[in-house]
């Protein structure tokens, strides 16, 4: 039983376990044994062609940055974070890094699906901006005004005191959300930031930026492993997620049940993803690099099992629903259908990444998965969604509380 094997349970917090369980799900799909999806590996080559076309359109020189929150702060051809930090005149790399971490953590935690009806009016360009870019810009503007700081003299920070007392109304105002501009799961987002403040305090931390100092101080020889960043993210922020699976006293966060997975293991039926934690880990890499720290083994992290990457495979027929009527109904995040979809996405992203590297004659170091995602699968998933559906929404409707997708 899982509650008798805490070491096996802890292993579910590592990216290797995410990959192993995802590959097991893919194998079940290839054998025709999944409950909800069929897998069509012969269609992966055409999917790669579509992604390559997207990469060449977006990055013709193949100079692709990492998939990280920082990309979403570039709006209207202007890097808004760069503009903000230049104007801030941070006294040193540490101050800059702490502020960057504060912003990244808050912004990523607010980056669940916005829904097709919401947009953020950008005062700089005068344009409405929706989805992830709109959420990013709104969070950056809130950060710039000091909404997440308890110190009026030091607005460019997010600290436990301000996060604990942040209410839904303040967050709604920051997002310009209301009846005429509805944003999904607004209460869930506010509650998540409240729990972030409480968890920071419980761990003796003042702000998310304290993690920057921890990483900087522990970087051996000026380098740090990406998997170590993820481990610290999971260890530091694991308590913020809504009540989900806790086994052997260990909160498993973005881990779900599926009846066919690892039937003989002590952790039978448990499928980990840690999507937002990995998205956050990807986003915490660059501030370290700005400070001269080398982040190694970035490909230890997995692809992100969210609706753009997952939608790419579904829209292009690499995976198909066994029951057509499933496309017309809403699905809970914990449902076996969504667990299958997400696990297949992780496994297929690895296969697609290898195929794209082969086509471009690039090594894993030259084109890690984080660049394939950015170049890449996320943009291609959005592109095919717009081609297939007028609102550009995902191919499946997911009931989310704002803390998974």
Question: Per residue in 312-322, pLDDT tens?
Answer: 999 999 999 99
Q: How confident is the model at residue 2 (pLDDT cuts 50, 70, 90)?
A: very low
Question: Per residue in 264-302, pLDDT tens?
Answer: 999 999 999 999 899 999 999 999 999 999 999 999 999
Identify the pLDDT of residue 402: 66
Q: How confident is the model at residue 179 (pLDDT cuts 50, 70, 90)?
A: very high
Q: What is the CA radius of gyration of the chain?
A: 20
74-75/78-79 β-pairing: antiparallel
Distance, CA of 297 to CA of 169 (rounded, Å): 41
Distance, CA of 226 to CA of 239 (rounded, Å): 21
Identify the pLDDT of residue 333: 93
What is the Cβ-side half-sphere exposure of residue 368, based on CA atoms within 13 angstroms?
A: 16
Is the pLDDT assigned to residue 186 strictly greater than 60? Answer: yes
Identify the pLDDT of residue 405: 65
User: Coil, strand, or helix at residue 380?
Assistant: helix
Q: How confident is the model at residue 78 (pLDDT cuts 50, 70, 90)?
A: very high
- H/E segment holding residue 120: strand 119-121
Identify the pLDDT of residue 400: 75
In the beta sheet, which residues pair with residue 257? 270
User: Coil, strand, or helix at residue 283?
Assistant: helix
Question: Per residue in 5-25, pLDDT tens?
Answer: 899 999 999 999 999 999 999
Instruction: Please give the model's pTM, rounded to 2 decimal places.
Output: 0.93
Specify the range with the lowest mean pLDDT, choosing from 188-202, 216-230, 264-278, 387-401. 387-401
User: Coil, strand, or helix at residue 292?
Assistant: coil
Task: Decide if 124 contacts 84 (C-beta within 8 A).
Answer: no
Question: What mean pLDDT comes out for the span 170-196?
Answer: 94
As a whole number, the mean pLDDT across the chain is 94
Question: What mean pLDDT comes out for the span 325-350?
Answer: 97
Is the pLDDT assigned to residue 195 strictly greater than 80? Answer: yes
Nearest one of 360, 339, 132 to 256, comparing CA atoms? 339
Task: Decide if 302 contacts 18 (C-beta within 8 A).
Answer: yes
Q: How confident is the model at residue 3 (pLDDT cuts 50, 70, 90)?
A: very low
Is the pLDDT assigned to residue 340 strictly greater than 90? Answer: yes
Structure tokens given for 194: 């409240």
- H/E segment holding residue 53: helix 44-58
**Burial environment of residue 208 by CB neighbours within 10 A (0 to 12, 13 to 18, 19 or more):** buried
Is the pLDDT assigned to residue 215 strictly greater than 50? Answer: yes
Question: What mean pLDDT comes out for the span 167-174?
Answer: 97
Question: What mean pLDDT comes out for the span 74-96?
Answer: 95
Is the pLDDT assigned to residue 211 strictly greater than 80? Answer: yes
Q: How confident is the model at residue 1 (pLDDT cuts 50, 70, 90)?
A: very low
Question: What mean pLDDT comes out for the span 215-231?
Answer: 94
The secondary structure of residue 145, as a DSSP letter, is T
> In Å, how far are 104, 315, 333, 396, 404 from 327, measured between CA atoms?
34, 12, 15, 6, 20
Distance, CA of 145 to CA of 123 (rounded, Å): 14
Structure tokens given for 50: 């579509």
Q: Would the CA dihedral through 10, 15, 16, 19 be positive or negative?
A: positive
Question: What mean pLDDT comes out for the span 244-254?
Answer: 87
Distance, CA of 155 to CA of 99 (rounded, Å): 10
In the beta sheet, which residues pair with residue 282? none
Question: Per residue in 50-69, pLDDT tens?
Answer: 999 999 999 999 999 999 99
Specify the range with the lowest mean pLDDT, choosing from 78-87, 91-100, 243-252. 243-252
Question: What mean pLDDT comes out for the span 99-126?
Answer: 92
Question: Per residue in 350-391, pLDDT tens?
Answer: 999 999 999 999 999 899 999 999 999 999 999 999 999 988
Distance, CA of 373 to CA of 20 (rounded, Å): 20
Question: Percentage of the chain surpassing pLDDT 70?
Answer: 98
User: Coil, strand, or helix at residue 29?
Assistant: helix
User: Coil, strand, or helix at residue 79?
Assistant: strand
Question: What mean pLDDT comes out for the span 112-126?
Answer: 89
Structure tokens given for 81: 């974070």
Structure tokens given for 172: 């709604």
Identify the pLDDT of residue 4: 57
Distance, CA of 195 to CA of 215 (rounded, Å): 23
Q: How confident is the model at residue 401 (pLDDT cuts 50, 70, 90)?
A: low
Nearest one of 17, 70, 37 to 253, comparing CA atoms? 17
């Amino acid at each position: 039983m899982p509650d008798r094997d805490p070491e096996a349970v802890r292993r579910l917090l590592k990216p290797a376990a995410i990959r192993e369980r995802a590959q097991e799900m893919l194998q079940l799909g290839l054998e025709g044994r999944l409950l909800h999806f069929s897998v069509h590996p012969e269609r992966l080559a055409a999917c790669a062609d579509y992604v390559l076309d997207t990469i060449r359109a977006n990055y013709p020189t193949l100079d692709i940055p990492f998939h990280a929150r920082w990309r979403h702060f570039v709006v209207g051809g202007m890097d808004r974070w760069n503009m903000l930090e230049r104007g801030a005149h941070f006294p040193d790399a540490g101050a800059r890094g702490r502020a960057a971490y504060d912003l990244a953590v808050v912004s990523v935690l607010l980056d669940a699906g916005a829904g097709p009806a919401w947009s953020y009016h950008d005062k700089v360009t005068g344009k409405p901006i929706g989805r992830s870019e709109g959420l990013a810009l709104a969070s950056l503007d809130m950060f710039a005004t000091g909404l997440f700081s308890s110190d009026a003299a030091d607005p460019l920070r997010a600290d436990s005191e301000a996060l604990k007392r942040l209410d839904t109304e303040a967050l709604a105002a920051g997002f310009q959300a209301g009846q005429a501009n509805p944003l999904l799961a607004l209460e869930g987002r506010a509650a998540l930031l409240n729990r972030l403040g409480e968890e920071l305090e419980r761990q003796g931390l003042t702000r998310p930026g304290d993690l920057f100092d921890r990483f900087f101080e522990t970087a051996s020889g000026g380098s740090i492993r990406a998997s170590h960043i993820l481990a610290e993210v999971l260890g530091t922020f694991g308590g913020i997620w809504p009540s989900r699976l806790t086994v052997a006293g260990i909160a498993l966060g973005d881990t779900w049940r599926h009846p066919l997975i690892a039937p003989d293991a002590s952790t039978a039926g448990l499928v980990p993803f840690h999507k937002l934690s990995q998205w956050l880990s990807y986003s915490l890499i660059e501030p370290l690099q700005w400070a001269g720290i080398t982040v190694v083994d970035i490909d230890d992290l997995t692809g992100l099992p969210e609706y753009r990457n997952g939608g790419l495979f579904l829209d292009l027929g690499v995976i198909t629903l066994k029951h057509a009527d499933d496309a017309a109904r809403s699905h809970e995040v914990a449902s076996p259908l969504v667990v299958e979809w997400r696990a297949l996405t992780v496994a297929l992203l690895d296969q697609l990444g290898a195929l794209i590297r082969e086509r471009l004659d690039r090594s894993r170091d030259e084109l890690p998965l984080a660049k394939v995602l950015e170049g890449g699968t996320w943009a291609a998933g959005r592109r095919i969604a717009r081609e297939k559906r007028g609102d550009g929404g995902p191919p499946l409707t997911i009931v989310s509380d704002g803390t998974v997708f």
